Structure 1
Amino acid sequence: MNIKLGKYLAVLPLLSLLVACAQLGQLEAQDTDIRKMTQSAETYSDHTKLSNYYDNLAKEMVVKVAEKKESLEEYEDHSYYYGRQGQDFRSHTEANIRYYEQALSDVTRQADLHRKIAAELLQRDYAGSAETPEQDGKYQIKAKLNSDANSLPIRAQ
């Protein structure tokens, strides 16, 4: 029975390593699609969708970092279970943590950028909507400006 437990504990780090590598490949595939969306984004709505996408991705990264840190803590608490493969497991988990923290930083920066662009587009659209082509010539300002400089009151100081 002790041999079965040893085999199980030897296989466990390898399986977690494979799962971690599979997750990294998914991110790279999604990255290509999001680049296309980013390049074609022109409107307030497009940039808002992108900022929401990056915000959701950041939430996922926070969860992944927490999972990896929990896994690393489990290893450090019970490193004697892992044997020789333990150091590999530890270094790989630390590398994953660094990767996900960097990815979190990148997606947060992207979300902020698209939020800023969306705000600028909204402000530009809001400011531009007051002057529509249909209004040209319909309304005239009926205020008379007094341009006579002599009529201004002069105060003695």
Structure 2
Amino acid sequence: MNAERFFIAIITIGLLASCAPMTSHEAIQNTNMRTTTKNAKTRSDHSALAKHFEETAREMEAKVSEQKKLLEQYESEHLYGWQSHNLKSQTAALIRKYEQTARSNMKQATSHRQMALGFEENHYAIHNGRVPRARNN
């Protein structure tokens, strides 16, 4: 009985920690990403950002998969008693959050890929942040 309560307490703490608001490190990282995104000016900048957003989307999809397995466990086993409903709803909320974040990151990646391709299609030689003027022949 005590082992079961301990197990439930550990799972509950883990779920609550995963639902916690952003840490200061994550907030700083988000600020840095916004600045980097805002300052992207070259094809390689946009390609690097697209790779970053794609990687983040893959991480979110992995978290979705992990949470879905956890949700299946909560639904199939009756070890969690009255806390089962809370665990299920918290896990479902995390799944929605991670799926939305993955979609958002994929949209950002697609946008930056298109911007990077735009640089290739236009064949502009940019010097010191300026596009040279066309010469009259």
Q: Which amino acid aligns with 1:123?
A: E
SS of the residue 2:81 aligns to: coil
Relative to the length of structure 1, the TM-score reads 0.72
Distance in structure 2 (CA, Å) of the matches to 1:52 and 1:42? 16
Q: Is there any run of 5+ residues in structure 1 with no aligned partner, and where?
A: 141-157
Are residue 62 (structure 1) and residue 61 (structure 2) matched? yes
Which residue does 1:21 correspond to in 2?
19
Number of residue equivalences: 127
Distance in structure 1 (CA, Å) of the matches to 2:64 and 2:19? 14
> C-alpha displacement at 1:55, in angstroms?
0.7
> CA contact under 8 A between 2:60 and 2:98: conserved in structure 1?
yes
> C-alpha displacement at 1:62, in angstroms?
0.8
Are residue 42 (structure 1) and residue 63 (structure 2) matched? no
Distance in structure 2 (CA, Å) of the matches to 1:101 and 1:28? 19
Identity %: 35
> CA contact under 8 A between 1:44 and 1:119: conserved in structure 2?
yes
* Aligned alpha-carbon RMSD (Å): 2.2
> C-alpha displacement at 1:28, in angstroms?
5.0
Q: Which of 6, 9, 13 is the matching residue for 2:7?
A: 9
> CA contact under 8 A between 1:64 and 1:100: conserved in structure 2?
yes
Relative to the length of structure 2, the TM-score reads 0.82
Which residue does 2:106 correspond to in 1?
108
Q: Greater CA radius of gyration, 1 or 2?
A: 1
